Amino acid sequence: MCNRFSKTNNRISLVVITIVKNNSLNIINKILANQADQTEKEAFFKQLGEDAKFKEESIGIQNLWHLSHIQNKQSSDIDKKLLFNEFWAKTGGKKVNNYWIGNFQKYAAVILVALFLGMALQYFIPQLRQGKVETYVYQSEKGSVSTVILPDSSKVWLNSDSKLELTNRKGLITAKLSGEAYFDIKHDENREFVVDVGEFKIKDLGTKFNVKAYECDNYYRAALLEGDIDILNTANTTLANINPGQGVIYNKHTGKLKVSNIDTSIESAWTEGKFVFVKKTLAQMCEDLEKWYNVDFNIQNKDLANEQYTCVLKKTTTVEQMLKILKVTSEVNYQILSNETGKDIVIIK
C-alpha cells in the first residue's frame, strides 16, 4: 500500500509544483479577484486562446481559487460568482447556474482533500519508514549447525534444532531464541541487541556469549566469553550483570537465577563440531545427544543415569559409534529400536 500511495503522492505534488511555478499565477489571481486592468485582461485572454497548456493550468487554478473563497460574505459571493461564470465561458465552458456551482464546490473539495492527503503522505511516509519493523527467521535442523551473518558483520551460530527470530524496531534488535545459539555481536551505540528466551532476557553490550534455551529442558543458561551482558526480567529490569568467565542458570521450575564461574573453552566447542562433556551425568549427556541425533534415549538403570562422564566427541560420530565407545569405557549395554514413522529409540541398560 505504501508504494501505491507514494506514487499518488508524487503525481499530486507535481501538479502543485507546476501551478506554483507558473509565472502567470499573479495575473490569474488578479483576473479572478476582478483587480486586473484592461491591458492585463486582454493579454491574459489572448494567451488563454493560444496556449492550450496555459488554459489547462488556468482552469485548475480557478477551481482552487473559487473553493478558497466560498466562505466570504454573501455580497462578495454574488460578484465572484458572476465573474466565475464569465471566466468559465471564456475558457471554453458554458455559463453555469447556482446548482452547478454548489456541486462544483463538492467536487473541488474532493480535489483539495486529495491534494492535502498527498502532501500529508509526503511528510508521514518517511516517518513511517523510520519506524518500519523488519523481522527475519532463521532455523537450524536437527543434526546441523547454521551460521547467520548480520548486516553489521556480527555472527550468530545456531545449534541443532534451534530457531531464531530477529526483529529490528527503531534501533532495537530483539532476538527471540528457542534452542541454542552462540553470539558474536559488535558493539553499536546507535542500537540495542537483546536476546529474549521468554523467562528472561540478555542485553548485549558488544560481546561473545552463548545462550542455551531449549523448551524441553528444565533450565536455561547464558555464558559470557568476552565483553559484557546484563540479565533482565520480562519487565526489562536488570537482575544481574555478568562478567567474562561467568554464566547464569535459570531454573524453569523455581524461577530462580544462579550466577557461577564457567570454563569458556567449553561453551563454544559445539560451534567447532564437538560435544564436550565435563562431569556430566549420562542423563544430561543424552539430553544433548537427543537434539543432535534426533533419537529418544531410554535409560532403564537409574544408577547408570546419574553416573558422571568427561569426554569429547566429534559431532560427525554416529549415534551407534558413540554407544560403542560408551560400552567399551563403561561396560553399558544398549539396544537401538528402529522406528520408520518416528524417532529411533535407544535403550541403555
Tens-place pLDDT, residues 1-48: 333 333 333 333 333 333 333 445 566 666 666 677 777 777 777 776
CA distance 260 to 87: 87
Q: What is the pLDDT of residue 70?
A: 43
Task: Give residue-wise pLDDT tens across range 125-175.
Answer: 444 345 567 888 999 998 899 999 988 889 999 999 999 999 988 888 999
**pTM score:** 0.60
May I ask the CATH architecture of the domain 133-267? Sandwich (2.60)
Task: Give residue-wise pLDDT tens across range 272-282.
Answer: 999 999 889 99
Task: Give residue-wise pLDDT tens across range 237-271.
Answer: 999 999 999 999 999 999 899 999 998 888 889 99
Task: Give residue-wise pLDDT tens across range 188-212.
Answer: 888 899 999 998 999 998 789 999 9
Cα-Cα-Cα-Cα torsion 286, 288, 293, 294, nearest 10 degrees, comes to 90
CA distance 190 to 216: 36
* Topology match between the domains 133-267 and 273-348: no
Q: What are the domain boundaries of the chain?
A: 2-130, 133-267, 273-348
CA distance 28 to 46: 13
Burial code of 321-330, b = ≥16 C-beta within 10 A, e = fewer? ebbeebeeee
May I ask the CATH architecture of the domain 273-348? 3-Layer(bab) Sandwich (3.55)
